[in-house]
Every structure is written in structure tokens, then in C-alpha cells.
Amino acid sequence: MRATEFIIEGASNILYHYTSTHSAARVLQDHEFKLSNTAGNASEASYAPKGYPYFLSTSRTRIGDYQRYVGNGGVTFVLNGDWFSQRYPVKPIDYWNRSWQHAPDRTRESEDRVFSREPTIPLTGVTAIHVLLKEQEESRSPITRNILIQAKTQGIPVYLYTDESAWRLQNTRKAISVKQSGDLLRGQTKPGYASRPLRGVNGYGRNSLLDWIELIAKQPGQPLSKTADKLAYNLRYYGDHSKQLANDLFNAKKPNSNDYKLAVKITSYLTKNHLDILGLADKLKVKWQNPADTMR
């Protein structure tokens, strides 16, 4: 049996997406969910329909393993499962491979995984947002305040809780208003609170994914950066480097990764050209083959 078992097709009527306070702020700031990427992960890719390399993990239940550890705060998006089913392939899976049968501290939780051709999904299917903040915190408090403002601005019902149990159960009778929050939301929002700079920009150093993108974008005869030229050389003379690329894509699969946007560029190229990672490495090896070698 595979590590993940498909149960049924189609989404539940109501879905829940749990995320951190900082990630929720980015979602509302961008007006969209940025999706996880299956490229570089053979196991994850095997669950996705062909041509759908991106996914959003959702839960069928408000209380479960995905919300097990929340720390001082967290955010749950309530989603219209019918809206998602009408627009995206949705496959419920038993992510824990029935481990709940042998672990008394686990629940029987199924993940409804939403797949997409594109790396983003708009917030149209969000019906409510439930925000937990147990106590005032220098960083999290102003970000939570901004989440409340952004949700109101976008017409999404939003509820604030200081009680974790009430938040988990989405017991809106125990939600508090901004007026009731006192100093809970106090603090100054720091610039760039909902974004992280990419490496390769603003002095953060060059990422190897940039080398692959450079070999894809440029043509033989055009000058290459030192690191991209080395990659081209290695492809020519040392064969398959797809494992290196797979590792880099795997490390950049999450939207909060520094290199996520770079991974999306490569994944989009793979999808458009019907290539897997090994196929891309072979294609670039041929493309950047030394002319002197081809004449031998």
C-alpha cells in the first residue's frame, strides 16, 4: 500500500485550511493562496492528476491532527468545498496511512487535497476566517490586527479568539471584538511583515535554481554566469544532475520558501513542455553540448 491512500473522489461540502499567522497575512495581502509544488517529490507528484503540479492541503474537520500544535496563535480558513470541486480536482486521502488505528493520540483525519494547474487559487471560495491569538506578542499582534482589517476589507467574515478550545470549535459566541481585545492587538507592523526576499536578490546570494533558469532562458553563444556555466559543463561531462534539481525543487516546494518563485518558474516550464526533471536535464545537456564534442 502506498504511503497515502485515496479514499473517495470529490471534496466535502465544507473544508478547512489551517496555517500560521504570518502565512495567513500573506494570503490576504496577495488575495490568493499560493500552492505547494509537487515538482522534485516523486511521492507527492504521484498523487497529482497529470498536468496539475500544485496543491492546497485542506482538512474535512475543524479539530484534527493538522491543528494539533498551534503555539500562541494560528488561523483557519473555512472554504466552500462545492466551489472548489466545481473548479479543481479534489482527492481525499488518508495522509497518515491509517496510523490513527495504532496511535491513540491521533484522530482519523482525511486530507482533501485540492490540485491546480496554476500556482495560485483566489480567495473566492473562502467563507470565513477564524483567528487565534492567546496573548499580546510584539510580532504576531500587529500582524493579527492586519489580518482582521484585510478580511473585513475583502468582505470575508472574520472571528478573533483568545481561547484555543473556542477557536478549534469555531464557537463564534466566544469570539471577541476588536473593542474587547484591549492590548491584545497592540504593536507596530514592521515593513515587509508578510513577505520574505528571494535569495539571489538584494544580496542574499545566488541560488542554484537560477542556474537552471539561466540555461533554459539563454541560447548557446550567449554568455553565462560562472555558476550556470559550471552547471552546463557538469551536464555535458558528468551526466545526470536531475537529483540535484529535484532536491532544490523539493526544498522550495512551500509558498513560504525563499526560493518558491524560482521553483514555480521551473515547474511551469516543465508542465508547458511536458517534461519531467530527468527530461529537462537531458534537454539542457543536448542544448549546451560543446560544439567541438558534437563534431567528434
Q: Using an 8 Å Cβ cutoff, are 28 and 77 in contact?
A: no
Asked if the structure places residue 202 within a domain, the reply is no
* Same domain assignment for residues 239 and 165: no
Asked if the structure places residue 187 within a domain, the reply is no
Asked if the structure places residue 203 within a domain, the reply is no
Say what the pLDDT of residue 93 is.
78
3-class SS of residue 5: strand
Say what the pLDDT of residue 199 is.
44
188 vs 295, which has greater pLDDT? 188
Question: What is the distance between the alpha carbons of residues 257 and 251, in angstroms, rounded to a whole number?
Answer: 8
- Radius of gyration for the chain, computed over Cα atoms and rounded to the nearest angstrom: 22
* Same domain assignment for residues 30 and 112: yes
Q: In angstroms, how far is CA 280 from the centroid of its own chain?
A: 23
* Same domain assignment for residues 147 and 265: no
Give the count of domains, the chain.
Answer: 2
* Same domain assignment for residues 110 and 243: no
Q: Using an 8 Å Cβ cutoff, are 248 and 209 in contact?
A: yes
Say what the pLDDT of residue 3 is.
41
The structure's pTM equals 0.82
* Same domain assignment for residues 173 and 214: no
Single residue among 181, 200, 222 that ends a domain in this structure? 181
* Same domain assignment for residues 216 and 175: no
State the pLDDT confidence band at 196, using cuts at 50, 70 and 90: very low
Instruction: Indicate left, alpha or beta for 116 from its phi (over 0: left) and psi (-120 to 50: alpha).
Output: beta
At 236, list the grid cell: 555535458
Query: Which of the residue ranges 41-45, 192-196, 254-258 would you say has the lowest mean pLDDT?
Result: 192-196
Which domain covers residue 231, as residue numbers?
Answer: 208-294
Asked if the structure places residue 195 within a domain, the reply is no
Say what the pLDDT of residue 47 is.
87
Say what the pLDDT of residue 119 is.
96
Say what the pLDDT of residue 65 is.
60
* Same domain assignment for residues 170 and 223: no
Asked if the structure places residue 255 within a domain, the reply is yes
* Same domain assignment for residues 112 and 244: no
Say what the pLDDT of residue 6 is.
41
Asked if the structure places residue 192 within a domain, the reply is no
State the pLDDT confidence band at 197, using cuts at 50, 70 and 90: very low
* Same domain assignment for residues 151 and 52: yes
* Same domain assignment for residues 26 and 154: yes
Single residue among 146, 181, 216 that ends a domain in this structure? 181
3-class SS of residue 213: helix
* Same domain assignment for residues 250 and 161: no
* Same domain assignment for residues 227 and 283: yes
